[in-house]
Each structure stands twice: as structure tokens, then as C-alpha cells.
């Protein structure tokens, strides 16, 4: 009986695993510009030129969300409304019925390149500045006039908002968009932004820059590839390139790996979005792709064998400089087909310094890489914690 359960668990893992990029084609346009993604009413939405689509099963199948003859170029949502900004009409529409019926808002200003929705406040970046609605799209006011605004991002738990512009760099507002000032990045085309902790990343034609002082000063990351889109998850940064696919950094942009396995190839990736355990990538002319987040976070299932017990292995190499690998095992459990798994690193004082895994993992043997280039020599501890298991081991970094 145990053998049957193990085989069953493994078949579930194989069926649901997505180790490469998958081109999503069922019920959705297979080609075209894929501008944006968002989540509303527990559905993931995307816009591909003249089509709006949603999926209820993480991209396996898609359905049409009606907004006929409107070339939507941006999406945003809150708990009550889904917003869609258009390119060809310069209008923003909203729906409260999961795309069955749409209502035109009073916004009519031009090519809507970005939407950032924060509660009842909507920031719309367009070819002329930013329009802001503080009443769920009923009325709008204009700011940052004369700018083509490609991206808008708010710094979490603050009133600070950043805006990426074509030709004028990055602006910031520290009062929720009422007033704006230039940052230290000026006179340049910036296509994309993401904010992770105290770091702001800005993508442009010659790579990805980062600021750690609220935008006052900027420095180059090691990612010197033209960057069209960027997003983040914990310590990981994802960058979409011009004709170069997707890159991933596991150390806040210090080092990068190109991750185009499967059907991605050298696509121009103009949108990146993370939800429901997947990374969704929108391309310029080749539609939309998806890939499991865990796999891109370098949590690799390394064998088809399903282990009998939990285990945390000694890292290797050890001592190490600056990278090491950690392996661990999750056994099959019919009452718990996916285990809540956390693998964290602590310094000798017990301070948590890195989260390597924080996901639901199916039964299997896994390997994860830790790049400690930003940490000092010394002893560290790594702790594996699941629903039914906890173990700690130590490792030594020598530089």
C-alpha cells in the first residue's frame, strides 16, 4: 500500500510540475503583445493586444473577458474592481463582474501604459503624465505633466511612489502622488520598476540600476542587459530583456542567471507577474508563458525517487566561498500531499539573514543554492522546518 501511495504522489508531482517555460495557448491568443497581468476575484487576467483573458487554473486554460475592439495596454485591480487601460482609445474601463460587463470611467487622456491600484486610489501613467483617482475611478486629477510614464510603483508601508518615464528618468512622490520631485536618475529612458524592501530597481536600455536610499543615488547591478520588465519575490529579482528572455538573481541583483529553458528562447519580455506559485511572462509578439516559481527560485527536484523520511543534508562544499548547495527530502504523506516547507539561514547571534525556501513542496528530494557573497566570513546555521519536521545544521563561509 505504501508503494502505491508513493507512486501516486510521484505521478501527481510529474503531472503538475513545470520545469521549463510553457507557451500558454489554450483559449488564449498564442501571439501578440502581452502587456500586463493582474489578479481579480481569484482569477489571473492578462491582455494581449485586442484580447482580455482570464484563467482559473493558473494558465492551463484561459477564457475571454469581453472588452471588444479595445487594445488594452495595462491592468490593475483591488478587491472591488478590475481596471483596464487602453492604447488605441486612451480610456480606462472598469468591471465589477469579472469582465462580463465593463464601464468607461471619466479618464480620457492617451495611451495608458501603467496602472497601480492601492485601495480606492488608482494611478494611471500615460503619454502625458499621471492621472490619479482617489474614489475608485469616479474622478481624476492630473500630475507630472509632460512625461511619458511607463511604470508606477509604491514603496510598501510608506507614502512614497516612484514613476519611470521616457527621457526624464525616475520621479518620486512622498505624499501619495500629490507632489513629485526628480530622483538622482534623470535624463534617461526608464521602462520598468520594482521595489523590494529598501531597494528600488530600474530597467533601461543598458541594464538594471538599483537605489538603496529612496532614489537619491543609483548604481549599476551586474545585469548589463537591456531590460524591459522587472519584478521581485523575497531575495529574488526577475528581469525580462530585449530579445534575451528572462534572467533571475538570487542575491538582490549581485549575480544573474539566464533562465530560458523550454519555449522561452530569446523573446523580448515586456511584462512579468508572480502569483499562485507561477511566474507569468508576457512577450512582444509571441504571447504569454508561465513557469513554476519554485523551479526558478532554484529549488530543484533532483530525482524521481520519493524518499521515505524527512532529511536535511550537510551543505556542500563546506567550508565554501561564496556559494554552497543544500539538499533536503520531503516524504510522501497521503494526508498532506504538499508540505509547508521553510529553509532559512541564521547568523551566530540567531538573526535570520536569508530565506532560501518558503513554499508548499510536494514529496521529493530537493537542492537549493545559497550565494553568500554579501556576507562576512564565519559560521552560519541553516534550519529546515516543515509541518512535521525541524532540523538545524551549521556551515562555514571562508573568504
Question: In this predicted model, what pLDDT tens digit does every residue of 44-97 receive, in sequence order?
Answer: 999 988 788 999 999 999 999 877 668 889 999 998 999 999 987 889 999 998
Interval 333-346 mean pLDDT: 81
Euclidean distance between CA atoms 242 and 225, whole angstroms: 8
**pLDDT(14) > 50:** no
Which pLDDT does position 262 carry in this prediction?
Answer: 83
Greater pLDDT, 355 or 53: 53
Give the gyration radius of the chain's Cα atoms.
22
Model confidence at 334, in pLDDT bands (50, 70, 90)?
A: low
In order, the DSSP letters of 119-161 are TTEEEEEEBTEEEEESSTTSS-EEESTT-BEEEEEEPTTSS-E
For residue range 115-133, list pLDDT tens digits in order.
999 989 999 999 999 999 9
Q: How confident is the model at residue 298 (pLDDT cuts 50, 70, 90)?
A: low
Compare 380 and 360 and report the one with higher pLDDT: 380
Can you give the pLDDT at residue 17? 41
- pLDDT the model gives residue 16: 38
What's the pLDDT tens digit per position in 152-187? Answer: 999 888 889 999 999 999 999 999 999 999 999 999
Say what the pLDDT of residue 57 is: 95
Tell me the percentage of the chain whose pLDDT exceeds 90: 65
Q: How deeply is 64 buried, as exposed, middle or buried, from its count of CB atoms within 10 A (0-12, 13-18, 19+)?
A: middle
Rounded CA-CA distance 345/380 in Å is 7
Encode 99-125: b = buried (16+ Cβ within 10 Å), e = exposed: beebeebebebbbbbbbbbeeebbbbb
Sequence-distant (≥ 6) Cβ neighbours of residue 335 within 8 angstroms = none
Domains and CATH numbers, the chain: 2-296 (2.130.10.10), 300-397 (2.60.40.1930)
Q: Going by C-beta distance under 8 Å and a sequence separation of 6 or more, which residues neighbour residue 177?
A: 121, 123, 130, 132, 143, 161
Surface-to-core class of residue 398, CB atoms within 10 Å of its CB (0-12 exposed, 13-18 middle, 19+ buried): exposed
Residue 2 has pLDDT above 50, yes or no: no
Is the CB of residue 219 less than 8 Å from the CB of residue 204? no
Question: Please, what is the average pLDDT of the chain?
Answer: 88
Amino acid at each position: 500500500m505504501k508503494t502505491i501511495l508513493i507512486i501516486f504522489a510521484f505521478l501527481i508531482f510529474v503531472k503538475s510540475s513545470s520545469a521549463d517555460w510553457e507557451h500558454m495557448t489554450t483559449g488564449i491568443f498564442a501571439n501578440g503583445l502581452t502587456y500586463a497581468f493582474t489578479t481579480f476575484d481569484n482569477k489571473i487576467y492578462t491582455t494581449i493586444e485586442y484580447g482580455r483573458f482570464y484563467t482559473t487554473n493558473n494558465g492551463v486554460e484561459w477564457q475571454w473577458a469581453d472588452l471588444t475592439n479595445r487594445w488594452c495596454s495595462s491592468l490593475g485591480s483591488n478587491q472591488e474592481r478590475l481596471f483596464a487601460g487602453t492604447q488605441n482609445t486612451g480610456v480606462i474601463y472598469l468591471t465589477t463582474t469579472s469582465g462580463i460587463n465593463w464601464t468607461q470611467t471619466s479618464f480620457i487622456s492617451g495611451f495608458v501604459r501603467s496602472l497601480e491600484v492601492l485601495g480606492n486610489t488608482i494611478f494611471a501613467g500615460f503619454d502625458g503624465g499621471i492621472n490619479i483617482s482617489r474614489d475608485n475611478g469616479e474622478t481624476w486629477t492630473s500630475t507630472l505633466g509632460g512625461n511619458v510614464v511607463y511604470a508606477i510603483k509604491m514603496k510598501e508601508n510608506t507614502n512614497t511612489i516612484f514613476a519611470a518615464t521616457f527621457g526624464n528618468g525616475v520621479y518620486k512622490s512622498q505624499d501619495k502622488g500629490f507632489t513629485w520631485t526628480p530622483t538622482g536618475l534623470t535624463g534617461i529612458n526608464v521602462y520598468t520598476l520594482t521595489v523590494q524592501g529598501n531597494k528600488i530597481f530600474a530597467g533601461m536600455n543598458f541594464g538594471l540600476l538599483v537605489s538603496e536610499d529612496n532614489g537619491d543615488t543609483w548604481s549599476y547591478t551586474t545585469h548589463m542587459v537591456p531590460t524591459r520588465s522587472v519584478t521581485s519575490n523575497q531575495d529574488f529579482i526577475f528581469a525580462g530583456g530585449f530579445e534575451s528572455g528572462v534572467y533571475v538573481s538570487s542575491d538582490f541583483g549581485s549575480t544573474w542567471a539566464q533562465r530560458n529553458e523550454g519555449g522561452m528562447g530569446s523573446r523580448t519580455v515586456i511584462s512579468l507577474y508572480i502569483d499562485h506559485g507561477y511566474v507569468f511572462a508576457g512577450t512582444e509578439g509571441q504571447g504569454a508563458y508561465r513557469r513554476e516559481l519554485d523551479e526558478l527560485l532554484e529549488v530543484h527536484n533532483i530525482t524521481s525517487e520519493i524518499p521515505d523520511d524527512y532529511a536535511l543534508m550537510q551543505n556542500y562544499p563546506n567550508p565554501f566561498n561564496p556559494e554552497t548547495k543544500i539538499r533536503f527530502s520531503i516524504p510522501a504523506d497521503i494526508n498532506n500531499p504538499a508540505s509547508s516547507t521553510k529553509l532559512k539561514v541564521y547568523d551566530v547571534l540567531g538573526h535570520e539573514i536569508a530565506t532560501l525556501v518558503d513554499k508548499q513542496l510536494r514529496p521529493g528530494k530537493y537542492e537549493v543554492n545559497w550565494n553568500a557573497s554579501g556576507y562576512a566570513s564565519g559560521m552560519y546555521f541553516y534550519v529546515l522546518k516543515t509541518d512535521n519536521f525541524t532540523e538545524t545544521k551549521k556551515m562555514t563561509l571562508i573568504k
